[in-house]
A and B are shown apart, each in its own frame.
Chain A
């Protein structure tokens, strides 16, 4: 029977729960960060990403409805997060489409659900399920700690590559710049909610379970992006330095 962890122990456990399967280490992310992708690959990425994160306001709305009135700070955070995704600045999905257009895609192509992988639809369904059916602390752990808080570590590697290696302008790549910083803060506030309201051993364990599951989901989705769209062009992913030495002569 697990015991109630202190706030600092629980935070470390949450961080460890996703550290083994971080999406930044998946083949598609590695190919991106090392400058191997073509613009058409980015159009596919943006299309799938649109169907995965496009309904983020819906997910947060479901979580909001599941959050009890006494957790007013958690409700306010969810509302604020929703506002920031949709209204405070450029709509985040519009920035994503701006990037796809810079890669030669169109708004219509990106928004057409038929152009997304089954993995992306599965990811979307999983997020609707968790946000709609789970305790708000558990869904905060899954979606905000497990997924949203990973974003800065992914984009901080990918953004400079987009500018310096792939030649995008800062305006075209603004989607990434915005998320590097806003998701740092969303992630941190997500931690605060989870640390504060996961106040039984059962809730803590359930949060850890869903953080692991979220990380596994995102890792598998990111890997599938490579296998579906990039592998036919570049072959199976092999990390630099791990290639077989070329035969001489």
Chain B
């Protein structure tokens, strides 16, 4: 087996890893962790693995990773035969990717937390966290509109990278927190492009394109 993912199906951060693995066509083992209502990520077994008690956790042999940015980097460097998802030979592009990996971390704390608050009544300063989420969505929209003005589409360079995957889930899921995408055309078109990638997988709240059955009604 390639790696193990300690996974919660409704988590956008866990989904980042599932999505990246699917796009790279890597098989792996998942261990379901009952984040809510079980709070199993705070159980002794998981805490022994990840003292921070966050999800996901990725293990491979003796390696234990607890940060999604590190997992995406490792997945791309290990399984991407094309070398395009994390292009190590292009310093400027790689720096831009790292920049947006950092942004993705902030987005988890803004749009991600706003969603947890609305979905699970998670404790948060709702006003502050939604203002931060809007500010982050605007930052992403500004950048993606720059890319459109340049004739591009993706966050860094001419094709998708781990930066796109890192930023995708909590941007796509922001309507769960009442933050619709209608006023963000560049984000809307970029989300669509990610969903159109070969191998794309869905999660609750993010569906496949054309996932409607042709002949059945319900």
Bound pair (A, B): no
Residues of B within 8 A of A (CB): none
Residues of A within 8 A of B (CB): none
